[in-house]
Structures are given as C-alpha cells and as structure tokens.
Amino acid sequence: MKIMKTMERIPGGLMLVPLFLGALIHTLFPDAGKYFGSFTNGLMTGTVPILAVWFFCMGAGINIKATGTILRKSGTLVVTKIAVAWGVAIVAAAFIPEGGIQTGFFAGLSVLALIAAMDMTNGGLYASIMQQYGTKEEAGAFVLMSLESGPLVTMVILGTTGLAAFEPQAFVGAVLPFLIGFILGNLDKDFRDFFSKATHTMIPFFGFALGNSIDLTVIAKTGLLGILLGLAVIVVTGIPLMLADKYIGGGNGTAGLAASSTAGAAVANPMIIANMKPEFLPAAEAATALVAACVIVTSILVPILTAYYAKYMQKKGNGHFVQDDRKAAV
C-alpha cells in the first residue's frame, strides 16, 4: 500500500491526515486515551512534550548565521498579528455591545471572541507548515510567537493590562527547548546534523496529538457563524501578514499565510478574561465556542491554502521550499 505517497499528494497531508484521524477519534471516542492509558494515552494527548522535543530539534537545525533572519521574520509576524487584532477591536467596539450580540444570525459574536480568535497564532501549526514549505529560518520564526501565548495580549488589546501580570518564566519556558537545541546545534555541527533530521519525522505525531484535542461537533454547535469567523481570521489576518512577510520580512508571503491561524490555547482566553473582568461573562461562553470553531477551521484550511500558495510561488520561480523523497510540497 502506498499510504505515505497518498498522504504526500494531499496538500499539507503529512500533518492534516493525522490531525483528522485524531479529531475523529476524539469526537467519537473522547475517553479513548484514558481507556488505553500508558503510552497510547501519551501519544494521543502529548501535544506539549511532542512539541518540546520538536522545537529542540528545530533549534538544533538552525545555523547561528540565520539568527537575524529568524528575529526579523518572527518579529514581523507577531507585531502584524497583534496590530491587526488591535485594529479589529477598535472597529468592532464601535458596533458590538460589551456583552456581545444577543439575537439574530450574529448572536454570540463579541469583541472578546474576535480578539481571542485573531491575536494568537498556532505556533506549532505554523512551524510544521513552514518545515514543509519554507526554510529552516522561517520555521524557526515561531520563537517570538510565545509572546502571544495566554491572555496577556488579549487583555492589553481590551485595555485591561492592569488586571494581568506577565510572568517572565512562562515566556522563558516556552522558548527554552528551542534555545538549548539552537546552542547545541551551533556548538557542534554533528549535533545539528543529527537532531535536524527528526523535525520532519515528528510532524505526523504532532498532527495526531493536536487532532485529539479537537471535537468536530464544535462546528455544528456554533453553526455557520463559527465557520465564517474562522474564514474571517484567515482573510483579515492573512492578507496583512502576507504583505508584511513580503515587504518587511523578506519572504514571498508563504510564512504570512501560514501564520493566519488561531492558536488552540486561545480557546481558554475568553473564560480567563471573564473571570478577571466579570463584565465579559455574558459573552465568554459563546466566545469560547466560536474561538474553538476558529481553531478547527484554521487548522484545516491554513495548511491547504499554504501548500497551494507555496506551489504557486514555486511555479512563478519565487518559491524556496525543497522537495525530495522525504518532503513533498503538495
């Protein structure tokens, strides 16, 4: 059976197929991991440790000479993403009441939902996509995306920074595996050669674990609005990100499109903020469902769109990903 070759023919298939499989298992058998326990449970729920090892190997594979490129790329994407979410908040606040829209097709939509959906990029998803369709330096641009993690940026955008305290150790913990790998890989070229080989291999494992955190029924619960909001995240953040990547980051737009997703951690932000600022409680529950739908929609569509865009740029002679027996672009 040519399972591997079939997966590689699907845009983003190396990650998307395991993600779908994991989401299907989680939707139909949500307690499967707990039932089997042991290593099976670890494989199904181990997104964080898998990413930790993956980021270590990714850091080890990057040459120190590329540091400037990584900071420019990651800084450009993070600042653009936050700036777009900030702009959306300003515009939305003029039309949407504080407690969110209560009736009609847009019932449940709130400024809180919009910001939470747009201000955080799924760093793991971005890194896995760029590992396939970009350069090592572009894949490593996730390094500053940890600044978006948690409710801090959302609270800043909402004008509630006085209620949140940023913990420096949380940021350090998010980038430490990458930095250790980066240091070791540059101290010893053999380290870099050894660990960098694992980055591509681990993509299906991350996709499967990520899928096991997704309930496909969320889309049905939020209805068409959740799907439309997910599409809006890709369009509203994706276009500025692509332009910034091209004209500031020095890329061809692929990295920008790959960053136009909603982070899985963003699902928790509405309730966290509502607990800190009770006036958001009426909008928090619906916002949580909408953001979860955005995570699903963007997790599915962003890899596909990025794969087609990368192929398009390759045909135009402006692509930079490499295909070989282990890495198929599409």
How buried is residue 262: exposed, middle or buried, by Cβ count under 10 Å (0-12/13-18/19+)? buried
**pLDDT on residue 29:** 92
Q: How many CB atoms lie within 10 A of CB 29?
A: 10
- Gap between the Cα atoms of 69 and 58, Å rounded: 15
Indicate the domain borders of the chain: 11-315
> Would you put residue 276 in left (φ > 0), alpha (ψ -120 to 50) or beta?
alpha
The answer to whether 290 and 115 have CB atoms below 8 angstroms apart is no
CA 305 and chain centroid, separation? 14
The answer to whether 127 and 139 have CB atoms below 8 angstroms apart is yes
Confidence band, pLDDT 50/70/90 cuts, at residue 230: very high
**pLDDT on residue 259:** 92
Cα Rg of the chain, angstroms: 19
Confidence band, pLDDT 50/70/90 cuts, at residue 144: low
**pLDDT on residue 53:** 87
Confidence band, pLDDT 50/70/90 cuts, at residue 264: confident
How buried is residue 19: exposed, middle or buried, by Cβ count under 10 Å (0-12/13-18/19+)? buried
**How do residues 90-100 score in pLDDT, each as one tens digit?**
888 888 887 78
Q: Which of 32-46, 51-65, 107-121 has the lowest mean pLDDT?
A: 51-65
Q: What is the mean pLDDT of residues 235-256?
A: 91
CA 295 and chain centroid, separation? 8
- Please give the structure tokens belonging to residue 48: 């964080």
CATH architecture of the region 11-315: Up-down Bundle (1.20)
Q: What is the mean pLDDT of residues 290-314?
A: 89
**pLDDT on residue 328:** 39
- Please give the structure tokens belonging to residue 31: 């307690």
**pLDDT on residue 163:** 33
Coil, helix or strand at residue 167: coil
